[in-house]
Structure 1
């Protein structure tokens, strides 16, 4: 028994080490790709110089700083943080609702965030105000769904899903009204472009403000790993183990909604990643949330860094990242459907 446990633990540590290494490789490769190509060796030397390990190259240091630190690094950090947050949120939703097809948009967060952003664009507000309204819209939509689910007694997983569907439909309809009323030559294209998702306008300052909040939300969900495992066995079984089911459910929903709304407020709509990244991580580390949640974060970060690299490099003009994630998510979703028929949870 002890030998089997040790072997399993060693395998898990090896898998996580491989995922961390893959994330580092993806980040360095993303730094090298762009209209002004850079060699991996040159990037590593620049980073070593910034760490004080080697002397900087005075002839190219300013150029490399502009390309790497000012332009590409914020996007890569943002892609890693947003990909991790959406994936962890998706894994948490799948555990809370015991539904392998659950995703961050299940309770209406994406629809509410889209409405908030569109409202800011129509009102001509600043980019910071747009992010604030998108975040408020996402949180508000989930809150409305929870209120609807509790109208006729204590909410269950099914009534929460139905409440989220109603809330999402309401905000989707409200978004359609805003699109209909928008200026078709100025405001409507801006709304449509935001809905397709992009990391082009993210600054390092924005990431420094929001990434710690995302990490805090993901850490909170990671601490709920074992109670979520108990909840996955059923509500009665979880109560028998002393798990406060209602508090756990709403706590996990609140944390997952928080990091999802933050992500959408930064980048716009980026779909699919919160649906299939947790399933890919589940194939690697199994269904236990103690391992699944951090593995989902790493898988999501790697995937979104790769998707953003493709978005800004495969064509002469940048492709909205939401299009890339949807195209790559289609075959992954087919895999999810196939495995869901066998019963993932």
Structure 2
């Protein structure tokens, strides 16, 4: 009887990943058609057939225009949305499992606050964009190191101390960011900092995408491989230790991977909030709490979600809305809904 009751659930899970993968491909294809210069799916298909197989007749001017639109503008932006959405969703899933709390997100240990400060610092003191990106990444990691360092200075509940360390680190770098904004040139530097903090994909280029994308993909794959340990950590430290799991080592490794992915999202697109909080809940509603299934599902749903939200940001109004604002406007009401559910418990 038990096997019969579990069979439909297993079939549903087996179908979920092909459906999500197909939905991701369809979302990418549809997003390629959107923009100030609209394209049809037939135009895009004809271009790729001509480019790969030399099929069909296409004028050189049209081919050059489509190549510029697709490979230099739209495709890098879509790939960045996939990477950022998947990275934040996976990082959020990992944090929620590690800290046994459905209301935490990748910003818990201060990585986003530290990365934002690093970006603002770079914009004030240098005009080299690569330097700005390096500082963004470095200060994101520094913020998490401060959180972990504060937790290790005291004895007690590790999870609670890490949360308190994250609160202190976030407050520190938020204050330092305010100082940077105060001393920045109000005509040039301050508007650039403000725009960057609102998040967006308009500045993504191929080189940045490649440099950030490789470690992000590696981080996602490693968290998926360690998802079995997340199941153990979500039961609590004592239960995990009783299973012979090196709790501290695994937790630090997963924090490192989540920090790596989260910091690189800020490098690519500035502050993109709420994705790492709400997407794990959406995935959990679909597949349940097993992190072996939940983590890859979160990655796919996060990628689809951010592509759609970016399309909304650039197409709804005549001017592009910063992506971070759109994710917040969508995430806040959703968070209010799941908060009510969280009061009843979380499994």
> Is TM-score (shorter-chain normalized) higher than 0.5?
yes
Q: Within the alignment, does 1:313 sit opposite 2:303 as a pair?
A: no
Instruction: Identify the match of residue 291 of structure 1 among 293, 297, 302.
Output: 293
Matched residues in 1 for 2:135 and 2:266: separation? Answer: 11
Equivalent in the alignment of 1:18: 19
Q: What does 1:39-118 align with in structure 2 at a 5 Å threshold?
A: 39-52=40-53, 54-55=55-56, 57-59=58-60, 60-118=62-120
Matched residues in 2 for 1:34 and 1:123: separation? Answer: 35
Contact 1:46 1:56 in 2 (8 A): no
Contact 1:149 1:155 in 2 (8 A): no
**Alpha-carbon distance, 1:102 to partner:** 0.7
Equivalent in the alignment of 1:183: 185
**Alpha-carbon distance, 1:273 to partner:** 0.5
**Alpha-carbon distance, 1:205 to partner:** 2.0
- Give unmatched runs, 5+ long, in structure 1: none
Matched residues in 1 for 2:233 and 2:309: separation? Answer: 33
Contact 2:100 2:234 in 1 (8 A): yes
**Alpha-carbon distance, 1:92 to partner:** 0.4
**Alpha-carbon distance, 1:79 to partner:** 0.5
- Give unmatched runs, 5+ long, in structure 2: none
Cα deviation digits, residues 145-172 of structure 1 (max 9, x gap): 0001111236610000000100110000
Matched residues in 2 for 1:44 and 1:321: separation? Answer: 28
Matched residues in 2 for 1:39 and 1:178: separation? Answer: 45
TM-score (norm 2): 0.96
TM-score (norm 1): 0.96
Cα deviation digits, residues 29-69 of structure 1 (max 9, x gap): 11111111111222223233334384462352111111111
Contact 2:92 2:106 in 1 (8 A): yes
When structure 1 is superposed on structure 2, of 238-247 and 6-15 the one drifting more is 6-15
Matched residues in 2 for 1:54 and 1:221: separation? Answer: 42
**Alpha-carbon distance, 1:319 to partner:** 1.4
Equivalent in the alignment of 1:172: 174
Matched residues in 2 for 1:62 and 1:90: separation? Answer: 41
**Alpha-carbon distance, 1:227 to partner:** 1.1
When structure 1 is superposed on structure 2, of 13-22 and 194-203 the one drifting more is 13-22
**Alpha-carbon distance, 1:184 to partner:** 0.8
Q: Within the alignment, does 1:223 sit opposite 2:240 as a pair?
A: no
Q: Secondary structure at the match of 1:183?
A: coil
Q: What does 1:141-220 align with in structure 2 at a 5 Å threshold?
A: 141-153=143-155, 156-220=158-222
**Alpha-carbon distance, 1:141 to partner:** 0.1
CA RMSD of aligned residues (A): 1.5
Give every structure 1 segment of 4 or more consecutive aligned residues whose post-TM-superposition deviation is greater than 6 Å.
none
When structure 1 is superposed on structure 2, of 41-50 and 188-197 the one drifting more is 41-50
Q: Secondary structure at the match of 1:26?
A: helix
Matched residues in 1 for 2:264 and 2:340: separation? Answer: 31
**Alpha-carbon distance, 1:131 to partner:** 0.9
Q: What does 1:27-38 align with in structure 2 at a 5 Å threshold?
A: 27-38=28-39
When structure 1 is superposed on structure 2, of 301-310 and 90-99 the one drifting more is 301-310
**Alpha-carbon distance, 1:120 to partner:** 0.3
